[in-house]
Amino acid sequence: MKTTKHLRSLIGPAILAALSAGCASTTPGISQIAPEPGRIVIPDPAAYTVSDRAEMMKIALDVEPADENSAPFAALVREAATGALRGRKFNVVAGGPADIRLGVKAGTSLYDNSADTYYTLDGTAAMRLEDAADGRLLAEEILRGRNKASLGMDKAVRDVAAAMKPAIEKWIGENVTPEQVPLEARTLRVTNIDRYAGGESAFIENFVRAISAMDGVIRCETEMRDSTAKIAAFRVLYRRAKYPQGFIHAVVNQNPSFNLNLQ
Query: How many angstroms separate the CA atoms of 48 and 231, rounded?
Result: 10
pLDDT band, very low/low/confident/very high, at 96 (cuts 50, 70, 90): confident
pLDDT band, very low/low/confident/very high, at 129 (cuts 50, 70, 90): very high
User: Mean per-residue pLDDT for 136-152?
Assistant: 95
Task: Evaluate whether 136 touches 124 at the Cβ level (below 8 Å).
Answer: no
Q: What is the mean pLDDT of the chain?
A: 85
pLDDT at 42: 41
pLDDT at 177: 85
In the predicted model, is pLDDT for residue 31 greater than 60?
A: no
Least confident of 87-91, 98-102, 207-211: 87-91
Secondary element (H or E) of residue 247: helix 247-254
In the predicted model, is pLDDT for residue 149 greater than 90?
A: yes
pLDDT at 37: 56
Residues 6+ apart with CB under 8 A from 214: 238, 250, 251, 254
More confident residue, 59 or 2: 59
Task: Evaluate whether 62 touches 258 at the Cβ level (below 8 Å).
Answer: no
Q: How many CB atoms lie within 10 A of CB 11?
A: 9
In the predicted model, is pLDDT for residue 21 greater than 80?
A: no
In the predicted model, is pLDDT for residue 153 greater than 60?
A: yes
CATH 3.30.70 in the chain is located at 182-262
CATH 3.30.160.150 in the chain is located at 58-175
CATH class for the region spanning 58-175 = alpha beta
pLDDT at 263: 82
**Tens-place pLDDT, residues 229-253:** 999 999 999 999 999 989 999 999 9
pLDDT at 45: 66
User: Mean per-residue pLDDT for 168-197?
Assistant: 92
Choose the CATH number for 182-262 among 3.30.70, 3.30.310, 3.40.50, 3.40.1130: 3.30.70
Sheet strands (E) in the chain? 23-27, 30-33, 48-54, 58-65, 91-93, 100-112, 118-131, 137-146, 150-151, 183-191, 217-226, 231-239, 260-262
User: Mean per-residue pLDDT for 213-240?
Assistant: 95
Query: How many angstroms separate the CA atoms of 175 and 240, rounded?
Result: 17
